[in-house]
Amino acid sequence: MADEPRTIKKILIANRGEIAVRVMRACRDLGIQSVAVFSEADSAAYHVRMADEAYPIGPAPSNKSYLVMENVIEAAKLSGADAVHPGYGFLSENASFARRCEEEGIIFIGPKPDTITALGDKVEARRLAIDAGLPVVPGTELTDNDPKAALDFATEIGFPVLIKAAAGGGGKGMRVVESPELFEESLQSASNEALNAFGNGTVFVEKYLLKPRHVEIQIMADHHGNVVHLNERECSIQRRHQKVIEESPSPIMTPELRERMGNAAIAIAKKAGYVNAGTCEFLVDQNLDFYFLEVNTRLQVEHPVTEMITGLDLVREQIWIAEGREMRIKQEDVGVHGHALECRIYAEDPEEGFAPSTGRLKHYRLPQGPGVRVDSGVVIFSEIPIYYDPMIAKLAVWGRTREEAIARTQRALQEYRISGVKTTIGFHRVVLDHPKFIEGDMSTGFLGEHYPDNNYRVKDPETAEMAAIGVAIDKFVRDRKVLVSPDGQPQFRSVRWKDYHRRAKLTTTFGGNK
C-alpha cells in the first residue's frame, strides 16, 4: 500500500470482552465509529453496549460465531465499516480472514496475509530469523519427520531436547525429551497431537533450555518500510502457557541488551515485510544470552504495560498505520518511563486448580488511584459465560520504580472487589508478595517451582489461624476506635468478633478480599 492514505471512519471489532472495549475506546478518542459483533451469549455484554452499533453473528460457541469469517465479513459489509480490528485470539492470526477482508475492500488492521502465514509456521519463522541474523536455539529445520534423522540430530545437539509443532502455540504438540530411548515415541505423540490440534503434524527439534525467561519485544511497522521497537515485556510468570503477570521493563534489562534485542526484532520484521503491531518473542538464559522463539502477528493482551512506560496508544498507532500513513514514532523518541505491571484477572478458582468459574457478577468494584488502569470486559451484573476465555479484566499499574509499581498493584488488588465468581485476584497478591518475585528473580518455571501442586495457600493451618487472629484483632480494635464519636458519645453499631475472624481467615489463608 504505497498509495494514498485512506481515512478510516468506522471500525468493526471482531472480538469480545476487554479487548473489544479497549479498541472501541481508541475509536472514540479518534472520532471513529465502532461496530460490535456478538454471539447469542453476549447480547447484553459490555462490548456490545460500548459500541455505536452491533450485529449478531451466531450461537454462543465461538466456532459458530466469533470464528465464522463469513458472518463477521457480512456484519462488516452491512455496517459499512471500512476496517476490521481483530483483537487477539479468534481470527486475529488467521491469514484467510485477513485476505477475505482485503478482497471485500475492508482494511484488516494487522499485518499482510502472507506475513501472517509465513510467521505462523514456526519452522518458516525460524528460517526467517536465521536469515535476518538472529540467534536461535540450536535446532533442526528438518520437517519431513524422518525419525532416524531427527534422533541423530537430537543426539548431536545433546539431550534434553524439545520437540515443537511447526503450527504450534500454547504448548500443544510440545514434548521435552530427556534421553534417546524416549525420543521416537515422543516424536510420534507430539506429531499426532499437532495434527489433531492444527491439522499439521510437522514438528521440529530444539535444544531444551532450562528455566529460561520469556522476554518479548513490541514492534511497530508502517507500509513505508519504517520499523521501530517499543521496548520489552517480561512475561515469565505464566502457568500452562497462560501468562499471568507481565511487566515492562524486564528486571534483567540493560540499555545494551535492549538495543541488541530490539535490533534483532526489527531485523526479522524487515525480513518478513512486517506491517502494523507485532511481538517478537525471545527466550533469555541465565547468561543473558537471548534466542528467537516466534513472532506474534497481533496486538497482545499485555500491550498496556508498553503503553504505560512509553506513553503511546498502540491501538491508535495501529489505526494510523492501517490508514497507510507514515509512522510518527521515531526510535530515538521511544523511552522507558517508570515501570508497569499487569495482572490478568481470570474468572477461575485458584483453589480448584484454576477451574473456570462462571456466573453473574453480584458485586464489582474497580480499584482506582495513582497509576491504576483497568481494562475490564465486564461490569456489575455481567454474566460470565462458559464459552470463552475466562479472562475478565486486566489490571495494569504504573510506578516510577518497580517497587512503587508492585506496592501500587498490591493496593489496587486489595481494592478490587468481585463477587459472584471466583477470581485470580488473591493469587496475584500471593505471587506479588513472593521474595523472589520482589527481587525480580524469575523464569518460566517460577510458578511450578514456588507453588508446586497449584498450592497458593498458607501451608500450615496453625500458622494461618494465628495470622487470621492477628489480623482480626487489629481490625477489630481499629473499628472500635472509630466507634467513639468526637463528642465522646459511643456510637451503637454491632461489631462482632466472629465477622472479623471470618474475614481475616479469607485474607490470610489466601490473600482474598471478600
Question: Would you please indicate which residues are annotated as catalytic (active-site) residues?
Answer: 298
Of residues 65 and 444, the one with the C-beta less far from ligand MV4: 444
Beta carbon nearer to ligand MV4, 16 or 233: 233
Q: Which is nearer to ligand MV4, 39 or 92 (CB)?
A: 92
Q: Where are the alpha helices (DSSP H) in 453-514?
A: 461-482, 497-510
**Minimal distance, residue 162 CB to ligand MV4, in Å:** 5
Q: Is the peptide bond before 86 cis (omega within 30 degrees of 0)?
A: no
H or E element in which residue 50 lies: helix 46-50
Among 206, 222, 302, 317, contact with ligand MV4 (rule: CB under 6 A): 206
Q: For the CB of residue 208, give the shortest distance to ligand MV4 in the complex, in Å.
A: 5
Binding residue for ligand MV4 (CB under 6 A) from 162, 187, 396, 472?
162
Q: Which is closer to ligand MV4, CB of 56 or CB of 251?
A: 251
470 forms part of the interface with ligand MV4 (CB under 6 A): no
Q: Per rule CB under 6 A, is residue 120 in the interface with ligand MV4? A: no
Cell digits of residue 497: 468478633
Q: Which of 90, 153, 183, 208 forms a contact with ligand MV4 (CB under 6 A)?
A: 208
Residue 171 interacts with ligand MV4 (CB under 6 A)?
yes
For residue 136, the 8-state DSSP code is B
DSSP code for 396:
E
Q: Which stretch binds ligand MV4 (CB under 6 A): 20-28, 108-116, 204-212, 382-390?
A: 204-212
Cβ count near 3 (within 10 Å): 7
User: If binding is defined by CB under 6 A, does position 173 make contact with ligand MV4?
Assistant: no
For ligand MV4, the binding residue among 140, 238, 423, 424 (CB under 6 A) is 238
Instruction: For the CB of residue 505, give the shortest distance to ligand MV4 in the complex, in Å.
Output: 34
Is 293 one of the binding residues for ligand MV4 (CB under 6 A)? yes
- Gap between the Cα atoms of 469 and 467, Å rounded: 5
In whole angstroms, give the CA distance from residue 402 to residue 286. Answer: 21
Cβ-based neighbour number of residue 368 at 10 Å: 9
Q: Does 228 bind ligand MV4 (CB under 6 A)?
A: no
Nearer to ligand MV4, 214 or 339 (CB): 214
Q: Which is nearer to ligand MV4, 122 or 408 (CB)?
A: 122
177 forms part of the interface with ligand MV4 (CB under 6 A): no
If you ran DSSP here, which 8-state letter would residue 53 be given?
A: E
**Nearest C-alpha neighbor of 278 from the set 248, 298, 306:** 298
**For residue 265, which of 139, 135, 141 has the smallest C-alpha distance?**
135
| # chain residues binding ligand MV4, by CB under 6 A | 15
Give the C-alpha separation, 47 to 17, whole Å: 6
Q: Does 129 bind ligand MV4 (CB under 6 A)?
A: no
For residues 49 and 241, which CB has a smaller minimum distance to ligand MV4 in the complex? 241
Please give the Cα distance from 155 to 123 (Å, whole number). 20
**Does 134 engage in binding with ligand MV4 (CB under 6 A)?**
no
Is the separation of the CB atoms in 78 and 411 below 8 Å? no
Radius of gyration of the chain (CA): 24
180 vs 161: CA distance, rounded Å: 10
Residue of the chain from 86, 110, 120, 212 that contacts ligand MV4 (CB under 6 A): 212
Sheet holding 53-56, edge to edge: 53-56, 33-38, 10-13, 83-85, 107-108
Contact between 209 and ligand MV4 by CB under 6 A: the answer reads: yes
Q: Is 35 in the site for ligand MV4 (CB under 6 A)?
A: no
- In the complex, which residues of this chain contact ligand MV4 (CB under 6 A)? 137, 162, 171, 206-209, 212, 214, 238, 241, 283, 293-294, 444
